[in-house]
Structure 1
Amino acid sequence: MTTPDAFAEPDAELDEVAEAILALDPDGSRWAEVVRHTYDMIYNGAETGRFHWLQLMKTEKTHFGTLFEINAQREFEFDGGDATDFRIAGHEVDAKWSQKEGAWMLPPEVFGRLALVATGNDEEAVFSLGLIRVTADYRSVGANRDQKSSLNALGRRSVRWLWKNAPIPANILLQLDRKEVDAIFASKHGTQRTNQLFRLAEGQLVHRGAVRTVAMQLDDQRRVRANGGARGALASEGFVILNGFWVGQRAIAADLGLPIPGAKEYVSARVVPSERGQGANILGGYWRRAEPGEAITVSAPVLTKDDL
Structure 2
Amino acid sequence: MSGPDSAGQLPLLPELDNPVTSDSTDLHQVQPSSGTDDELDRVRRWLIANDPTGKRFARVLRESLDQVLDGPRTGRFRYSDLRKTEKTHVGTVVEINLAKEFGFTDGADMDYQIAGAQVDCKYSMSRTGWAIPLEASGHLVLLTWTDDNASKWSVGLWRVDPNHLNPGNNRDSKKTISATGRAQIHWLWHEAKLDENLLLHLKASDLDKIFSHDGKRNGQKRVNELFRQVQGRIIRREVVLTVAQQKDGPRRARMAREPKQLGKEGIIVLGHYSWDVQVAEILGLPVPKSGEWVSVRIAPVTPESTRAKFPAGDGYWAIANDTDPVMPAPVVPRGKPLDDE
Q: TM-score, normalised by structure 1?
A: 0.90
Deviates more, 1:197-206 or 1:298-307: 298-307
- Please give the secondary structure, in 1, of the residue aligned with 2:67: helix
Question: Would the aligned equivalents of 1:97 and 1:104 in 2 still touch at CA under 8 Å?
Answer: yes
- Contact kept, 8 Å, 1:231 with 1:303, in 2: the verdict is no
Displacement of 1:25 after TM fit? 1.9
1:237 alignment counterpart = 265
Specify which of 53, 70, 91 is matched with residue 65 of structure 1.
91
Amino acid corresponding to residue 325 of structure 2 in structure 1: A
Describe the shift of the 1:131–1:218 C-alpha distance in structure 2 as closer, same or farther (beyond 3 A).
farther
* Residue 258 (structure 1) aligned with residue 288 (structure 2): no
Higher mean displacement: 273-282 or 30-39: 273-282
Q: Say yes or no: does 1:203 pair with 2:229.
A: no
Report SS of the residue matched to 2:321. coil
Correspondence 1:120 to 2:127 = no
| Residue 245 of structure 2 is aligned to residue 221 of structure 1 | no
> 1: CA distance between counterparts of 2:278 and 2:63?
26
Unaligned 5+ segments in structure 2 are: 1-27
Q: Aligned partners of 2:124 and 2:313: how far apart in 1?
A: 48
* Paired amino acid for 1:108: L
Amino acid aligned to 1:204: R
**Aligned in 2, Cα 1:293/1:71: closer, same or farther, shift over 3 Å?**
farther
User: What per-residue deviation string (whole Å, max 9, x for no partner) do you get for residues 24-65 of structure 1?
Assistant: 222222212112111211111111111111111111111011
Instruction: Report the 3-state secondary structure (helix = DSSP H, G, I; strand = E; otherwise coil) of the residue aligned with 1:231.
Output: coil
1:111, distance to aligned residue in structure 2 (A): 1.5
Cα drift, residue 254 of structure 1: 1.2
The verdict on how the C-alpha distance between 1:248 and 1:11 changes in structure 2, with shifts beyond 3 A counting, is: farther
Q: Match of 2:328?
A: 298
Deviations, residues 117-175 of structure 1 (Å, cap 9, x unaligned): 11111122111111101122322243532232221221111111111211111111122
1:27 and 2:56 correspond: no
Question: Which amino acid in structure 1 is aligned with residue 205 of structure 2?
Answer: K
**Paired position in structure 2 for 1:37:** 63
Aligned counterpart, 1:168: 194
Percent identical pairs in the alignment equals 38
The AA in structure 2 aligned to 1:193 is: R
How many angstroms apart in 1 are the aligned matches of 2:315 and 2:115?
53
- Aligned mates of 1:76, 1:284 — CA distance in 2: 50
Please give the per-residue CA displacement for 1:266-296, whole angstroms capped at 9, x wherever unaligned. 1111122345595235579643211234212
Rounded to whole Å, the distance in 1 between the matches of 2:185 and 2:174 is 18
Q: Between 49-58 and 132-141, report the one with greater CA deviation.
A: 132-141
Distance in 2, Cα, partners of 1:292 & 1:75: 46
**Pair 1:103–1:307, CA change in 2 (3 A):** closer
Unaligned 5+ segments in structure 1 are none
The RMSD of aligned alpha carbons is 2.4
- Aligned residues between the structures: 303
Residue pair 1:195, 1:234 contacting (<8 A) in 2 also: yes
* 8 Å CA contact retained: 1:171, 1:206: no
Q: Is residue 271–residue 300 contact of structure 1 (8 Å, CA) maintained in 2?
A: no
- Asked if structure 1 preserves the Cα contact closer than 8 Å seen for 2:274 and 2:335, the reply is no
C-alpha distance in 1 between matches for 2:234 and 2:274: 16
247 and 84 in structure 1: CA distance in 2 versus 1, 3 angstrom threshold: farther
- Counterpart of 1:191 in 2: which secondary structure? helix
Tell me by how many angstroms 1:201 deviates: 0.7
Kindly indicate whether the alpha-carbon contact (under 8 Å) linking 1:107 and 1:146 is maintained by their aligned counterparts in 2: yes
Residues 61-70 or 132-141, more deviating? 132-141
In structure 1, what residue type is equivalent to 2:29? T
TM-aligned CA deviation for residue 116 of structure 1:
0.8
The answer as to 2:110 corresponding to 1:84 is: yes
What does residue range 77-156 of structure 1 map to in structure 2 within 5 Å? Answer: 77-156=103-182
* CA pair 140-176 structure 1, distance change in 2 beyond 3 A: same
Instruction: Please show how residues 262-273 of structure 1 align to structure 2 within 5 Å.
Output: 262-273=289-300
Task: Tell me, yes or no, if the aligned pair for 2:241 and 2:250 is still in contact at 8 Å.
Answer: no
Q: Is the 8 A contact 1:94 1:110 kept in 2?
A: yes
Q: Distance in 2 between matches of 1:134 and 1:306?
A: 51
